[in-house]
Amino acid sequence: MGPTNVIHKFSAEAGAKCQLESELRTVLQQRIMVLDGGMGTMVQQHKLEEEDFRGDELKDHPLPLKGNNDLLSITQPDIIYQIHKEYLNAGADIIETNTFSSTSIAQADYGLEHMAYRLNRKSAELARRAVDDFTKQTGSKRYVAGAVGPTNKTLSVSPSVERPDFRNVTFDGLVEAYTEQVRGLLDGGADIILVETVFDTANAKAALFAIDLLFEKSYERKPIFISGTIVDRSGRTLSGQTGEAFVVSLSHAKPLCIGLNCALGATEMRPFIEAIGKSTTAFIICYPNAGLPNTFGGYDETPEVTASSLKDFAQDGLVNIVGGCCGTTPGHIRAISEAVRHCKPRTPAADIHQENLLLAGLEPFRIGPYTNFVNIGERCNVAGSRKFAKLIMAGNYEEALSIAKTQVEMGAQVLDINMDEGMLEGPTAMARFCNYIASEPDIARVPLCIDSSNFAVIEAGLKCCQGKCIVNSISLKEGEEEFLLRAATVQRYGAAVVVMAFDEEGQATDSDRKVEICSRAYKLLVSKVGFDPNDIIFDPNILTIGTGMEEHNEYAVNFIKATKLIKETLPRARVSGGLSNLSFSFRGMEAIREAMHGAFLYHAIKDGMDMGIVNAGNLPVYDDIDKELLLLCENLIWNRDPEATEKLLAYTQTYVKGGKKVVQTDEWRLTSVEERLEYALIKGIEKYVVEDVEECRSQVNRYTRPLHIIEGPLMNGMKVVGDLFGAGKMFLPQVIKSARVMKKAVGHLIPFMEKERQELMASSGSTEEIDPYQGTIVLATVKGDVHDIGKNIVGVVLGCNNFRVIDLGVMVPCDKILREAVTKKADIIGLSGLITPSLDEMIYVAKEMERLGMTTPLLIGGATTSKTHTAVKIAPRYSCPAIHVLDASRSVVVCSQLLDETMKEEYFDDLKEEYEDVRQDHYDSLKERRYLSLSQARDKALRIDWSSLPKPVCPQFLGTRVFEWYDLNSLVDFIDWKPFFDVWQLRGKYPNRGYPKIFNDKTVGSEARRVFDEAQQLLNQMIDRSSLKGRALVGFWRAQSDGDDINVYQDDVTVHRDTKPIAKFHGLRQQVEKDSSSSEPFLCVSDFVAPVDSGVADYIGVFAVSVFGAEELSQQFQAQGDDYNSIMVKALADRLAEAFAEELHARVRKELWGYCADEALQATDLHRIRYQGIRPAAGYPSQPDHTEKTTMWSLADIQDKIGIGLTESLAMMPAASVSGLYFSNPQASYFAVGKITKEQVVDYATRKAMSVEEVERWLSPILGYDSAA
């Protein structure tokens, strides 16, 4: 379908308001109207089953229909009618049709796309009947809003991570589906068309496109309401737009009402409703959910709370229509209606941004009378950039995207996209590149200028853009009819338009002709199409000067004159132009061209030029242009000298060779010494730090003691570093680099501090030592845990910030930590841990500190820790500060605050208040959690028809096989690098989160590349020198499940129920209640093994892999003072161990077990678990119990055979080790057991012959109850 270029009349009255809209406008000016509440909420109360949804008509339909609420308008019309009546009786002025998902696109999931028109018509007729009956009964008029939902597809986001440009729906497809839906709604009697829950503005634009076509061709116009949905507190839609950008992008539809619904509760929605109200002249509609959803997707907010929030909105003049969305009921609507009954409605502004051209990408962009010149980036143009053209022609769109990104970074406020090339399929290329742009938020935030001389290419671009674009361009060269046709189409897409100064006679070159053509076009656009003058941009043609042809000499002058006249005579219109044309005679001489552009713009802007297509970032400042060159350029531009071209050529031959010298400056050295120190810390520049510290020290009136320099400018600089790191604007290697600058500065001050200390001691006669450090911190990885990468980073950063760091190492028992803290007079104790048993040890340490009456602040850190766990489990056990520290950069600020006598009490008070809130939220969530009994969960276990499946494959051997000195080179290709970057806290933002896309990230990309390259070098060196060695064990045994357990048998025996197993693995089963509409089983790992009574012989595997040598090599680097490589070694060893597990699992599937002998997957597929079978590890979500490792170690004799040991807390040694079980069943999948009840804990303890208390200790992270209660 190509729903474009359709127009029957050219009239400003095309969008004239219908009688019904005038009627509604009058009501809305008098009072706040009320919309109904949630349809789905009410349907759920009827607890309908599959047969209810089917009815007689669809009883044999091949697909399940339960949950298709829209279908009930046909199969259960009485229920839907009654719901409508309940809302009307509750006080609703407007009821919505039951058609949220009634497009053919959404109904395709049920195989009912052929019923789309009928669904909409029947639903509208039901609502119409309910309204008419109510009006007859009461005499009060009510209205029907035809609900048009967003569909379950999106034009702005790719469903494929690998293909950012892919879309599973087209604009034309959406227009076709929406046309069918709206036709049904209008035929069924809808008074209003409500385009609601807009999560992607592009989808809404397609709906509005369809609606406008129907109104123009077939139907009387009806009022349009639009309601978006903000997905979280960021204030953006799912497709990334801000609320204001959303309003700007849809303003062309001239909705009677616009606002928000769904997603958030009223309280959270308020700032966004306010922002939308300030951005529109329409009335405001707001119908929030009944608060935020609870854990199970339900809504708990009472009618009184919702009504109170909306009453506040009303009293503050924010709304005109209120109602409810998800979770709201007639009770809510009744309360809302009563609450706003006597509130005055919002008075919309008569005009907003009256003098502004409004554009939008993901963010709004206003061009007003006082806006500076707008740069439209020119380099994404196949005709203007050889590099861009080459990349597009080669199909290298991702790299071409980097050109767009550079343009935005260099200052482009709008991005011009042009795909006009004879060998290129223009519409396809335009659509593909625009889709790529949509995947890159840093680019998509700015509006696009869709640039082509082919209108089909322009339309292809407009169909891919959710924001408000500029179309460049249309003109009168093909006559008025074609001009009006294209202008109306552009308006229907909601774009602004550039009009070139062409007409039927050709291009205008003199100023009078330029103004004449632009004036004619302006009148046609405003009077016949109804264009907002703000959306009209004229390009009076910047033509080439300096060609040597006399008739070209006035071209620049004529453009500037025409610009001035256009701005004076055509109100609110803008002027633009393509700057590169001006200097085309001097191509290849960039310095000359840029000087010409700079001089031309200086004068053109003064006379009204608003914007131009320029190479953003390459425009010189007018005053910086060489004076001789400037004079020559201006003589040429103003045609003051008949020999201007020759003189400029002569200058070029004498002074210019096309290049520019870039002078490196140290301008930052001209600032104050405090600013210089801050800059040096942020940038990691050591060169001048001693010199600057000395300058501070010389200012004795300001810094009376050396310590004041540390506590003042140096610590201020580190606070900025911490803030930048927290905001994602710095990354961990840079933090360490900053810390080393700090260390050098502090190192220079220490002798002076020592001298001061001795002088103080001598003058006071005291022999007591004065500590030169800011504080003493004892760090330790708690007992049972051998992971210390994060702790080491914290130690380095703190040490460089003048803290004495006493690192006790790993596996440190509580008594040693506390003894050393007392002996060393520690100011702070820091605990680190990675595995979950470490959390219990941290709790124990806190309890012991309380028992001993200690007051030392306790810091908690490590990958397994969290603020919630610290607040709920640790802080209540210790009456002094127990603080979760998110990352290394924050540790400096936290420690400084804890030791600052003037701040620490206030800091601790704030912390206690914050943690109390966290605890309360946690316990509130526990009250809402529901569980199945263990027997119910087992009844809903995964049911596999073992008799109908192929028999499980017998492994190539039974028993164990050891792999000594594994070839580590074979593992490199299996490395998943994302966790490596996580170690260094280098986190790219979408879409550059993973490897290798992280290298493209604006913030961390270059640093990630540097760290990665250094890692490669060290990795190759370690492998080549055999510094690291890999060992592995694989074992296979006969196995059968018995309930939630897995029995393991000796050799390939025939198993009966009474056959005695040689080992038993115990599983835990999911118990947390799932969504009522879900048919998902409640899983346990035993479900993936054939039951003992099935008669099907099955098998299980055990594996353990380890990389030896990392700890020793790390210690060598540590001894050399090389903290960076000490950490790097461990990070790489961890990655190798995980790669080892991945590679060995692939061998198991293809060779050693051989159940997938033909598998051919890439490493990326392996990381995404696209293979058959799983390898869950004990202590992880599918089996959260670490004690299952003891069974593995005993069964396979792992410690004796390959040397991997287990600590008290069952952490593996070496730390770079991975172990787990192998399951081969095609239905085996990873899952999280989640929280469990005491019933299962007791059952599990009995099965494992352990005490309940011991099981609770090991399973504490997943207990769904308080074991201490």
Burial class (CB in 10 A: 0-12, 13-18, 19+), 968: buried
Q: What is the DSSP letter of 224?
A: E
Concatenate the DSSP letters of all residues of 1014-1038 into one string.
HHHHHHHHHHHTT-SEEEEEEEEEE
For residue 1008, what are its two tokens?
A: 């990630």
Q: Are the beta carbons of 1035 and 1196 closer than 8 angstroms?
A: yes
DSSP string computed for 696-727: HHH-TTT-SSHHHHIIIIIHHHHHHHHHHHHT
Tokens describing residue 424 = 């290129």
950 exposed, middle or buried (CB, 10 Å; 0-12, 13-18, 19+)? exposed
| Token pair 């707008």 in the structure block, residue | 374
Element (H, E) at 86: helix 77-90
Q: Are 505 and 531 in contact (CB under 8 A)?
A: no
Report d(CA 606, CA 373) in Å as an integer. Answer: 10
Tokens linked to 699: 């200012």
Helix (H) or strand (E) holding 416: strand 414-418
DSSP at 1130: H
Alpha-carbon span 1105 to 966, nearest angstrom: 10
Indicate which residue of 252, 787, 1066, 1167 is catalytic. Answer: 787
Would you call the peptide bond into 991 cis, given omega within 30 degrees of 0 as the criterion?
yes
Q: Which residue is catalytic, options 279, 838, 891, 1106?
A: 838
Q: Which of 1132, 1121, 1126 is nearest to 1015 (CA)?
A: 1132
Pairing of strands 1205-1206, 1212-1213: antiparallel
Sign of the torsion angle spanned by Cα atoms 742, 747, 751, 757: positive
Region label for 121, one of left (φ > 0), alpha (ψ between -120 and 50) or beta (otherwise): alpha
Within 10 angstroms of residue 944's Cβ, the number of other Cβ atoms is: 20
Q: Which residue among 200, 785, 1087, 1243 is the active-site one?
A: 785
Residues, the chain: 1269
Per the annotation, the verdict on 869 as an active-site residue is no
Q: Name the helix (H) or strand (E) containing 502.
A: strand 502-503
Token pair, residue 358, equals: 């409004």
CB 724 within 8 A of CB 730: yes
The rounded distance, in Å, linking the Cα atoms of 979 and 975 is 10
- The dihedrals phi and psi of 349, each to the nearest 5 degrees, come to -65, 145
CA dihedral for 1119, 1122, 1124, 1130, sign (positive or negative): negative
Instruction: Write the CA distances from 1026 to 968, 974, 1120, integer angstroms.
Output: 9, 19, 20
Phi-psi region of 1263 (alpha: psi -120 to 50; beta: other; left: phi over 0): beta
Q: What is the dihedral of CA 357, 361, 363, 366, to 10 degrees?
A: -10
Distance CA 151, CA 1023 (A): 53
Maximum distance among all Cα pairs of the chain, rounded to whole angstroms? 110
What contacts 1231, CB < 8 A, 6 or more positions away?
1070, 1083, 1181, 1182
Q: CA dist 1047 to 538, 869, 1044, 1060, 1223, Å?
A: 80, 35, 10, 9, 14
State yes or no: is 838 an active-site residue.
yes
Catalytic residues, by residue number, are: 785, 787, 838
